[in-house]
Chain A
Amino acid sequence: DAGITQSPRHKVTETGTPVTLRCHQTENHRYMYWYRQDPGHGLRLIHYSYGVKDTDKGEVSDGYSVSRSKTEDFLLTLESATSSQTSVYFCAISELAQETQYFGPGTRLLVL
């Protein structure tokens, strides 16, 4: 299994509060991704990174920001959480753009 961890695994927060989710990998892969999974939508890409300090938006990036200061860590921040951001968040990694993406265990976020 790819060495990917996500923290926290579960979080309950209130509307308007900032939230940061962390993805940590031990594979030294260049590419890292954040997806969200919602019923009826499958998984959708939020942001991705193709190197340290190199990031780009996905299809559902509004309300989210990311940072990658080290190869192994990719942070997803909700500046001011809303109830619509209640979801399961998955981190994924791949060595190269064309390679298979491997997923972390997911983080359940509930915004009240």
Chain B
Amino acid sequence: DQQVKQNSPSLSVQEGRISILNCDYTNSMFDYFLWYKKYPAEGPTFLISISSIKDKNEDGRFTVFLNKSAKHLSLHIVPSQPGDSAVYFCAASEEGNKLVFGAGTILRVKS
């Protein structure tokens, strides 16, 4: 049972444009959401997080939006850079419990 779903296996964006990565979840008890970036041969790197009491969190070029009623979150990267090309994972947890990860979305930023 996939509690966290990333339905787009890949996304291709032109350098300088906006990248939007999407994630859906089924467990309404999730209260903490995170995005990670992973390069080949490296472990995932924490990017940004949001708790369920907020609907938006910004950190530089990265913004995460949370829509609790739709059980949907998204990561916006503006402007996209070639170095952003990586696999992006969304993750969620309930009451400090284990993180549950989506399957990942491969982002390619073309220069």
Instruction: Report whether chain A binds chain B.
Output: no
Which B positions have Cβ atoms within 8 angstroms of A? Answer: none
Which A positions have Cβ atoms within 8 angstroms of B? Answer: none
